[in-house]
Amino acid sequence: MKDMRGKTVMITGASRGIGAAAARAFADEGANVVLLARSRESITDLAGEIGDQALAVPCDVSRYWEVEAAVTAAVETFGGLDVLINNAGVIEPISHLAEADPEAWGHVIDINLKGVFHGMRAAMPGMVDRGGGTIITISSGAAHNALEGWSHYCSSKAGAAMLTMCLHKEGADKGIRAMGLSPGTVATEMQHEIKASGLNPVSKLDWSDHIPADWPAKALVWMCSAEADEYLGEEISLRDKGIRARLGLSA
């Protein structure tokens, strides 16, 4: 694993699931962690659990100025920002296209796609000024495969995957390490929402089919190391048995 001591990692959607697991994993490696989420109470509790190396910043990633303020807070508190994990994402309301509420559909795009752009836009200039940094976007199989009831989620994740490739094109020569992580189905609250919808094959999966949140968290820490440089500009999938073996992940 990369020595993360003295490094600062910002994680969006840090109140639960992959985000919270990643916060703990990076903190265990010695990093400062900046926790972003709309739920003030949840990230404050998590920051209290982690200790002085954690900063909780209530933030709605769909609002650029809030993300920009969070980056400023990270730099003022810890002296810089080395890693951004674009993790925040929602899937509700799940619905067929012909029945979708246009405002609710658009709000998912605001979080899942525009939120990723907002993170990149706010973090990249400072990273470039300091010689570089790592920006990782949590992707999904839904970025590459259409699923019934998920038009908003599939479209936003596909856009976020393309944003990550654009970031690599524009930032690689400036020291920006850009990658995506497609974790597969993870045992988080989102899976309960998917299950309740009853739509498409993912809702039919058994809870035991989902991987634990600490698997993608461990992958994210590894992706900040030079060992993952062969994947720059690409997307790593935790469905890949070779990747799982490389990271020592097994059921």
> What pLDDT, in 10s, does the model give residues 200-210?
777 776 667 67
Catalytic one of 26, 78, 117, 153: 153
Chain mean pLDDT for the chain: 92
* 217, 22 contact by CB (below 8 A): yes
| pLDDT at residue 213, rounded to an integer | 85
Q: Give CA separation, 33 vs 83, 123, 180, in Å.
A: 9, 14, 20
| pLDDT at residue 1, rounded to an integer | 45
Residue 64 annotated to the active site: no
- Find the distance separating the first CA and the last CA of the chain, reported in whole Å: 21
Q: Is the pTM of this model over 0.85?
A: yes
Integer Cα distance of 9 and 22 in angstroms: 10
pLDDT tens digits along 31-59: 999 999 998 999 999 999 999 999 999 99
pLDDT tens digits along 45-100: 999 999 999 999 999 999 999 999 999 999 999 999 999 999 999 989 999 999 99
- Tell me which of 3.40.50.2000, 3.30.365.10, 3.40.50.720, 3.30.70.1250 is the CATH number of domain 8-245: 3.40.50.720
Q: Which of 214, 226, 249 is nearest to 179 (CA)?
A: 226
* 153, 140 contact by CB (below 8 A): yes
Domain boundaries, the chain: 8-245
Rounded to 10 degrees, what is the CA torsion of 208, 209, 210, 216?
120
pLDDT tens digits along 189-228: 777 687 787 777 777 766 676 778 898 999 999 999 999 9
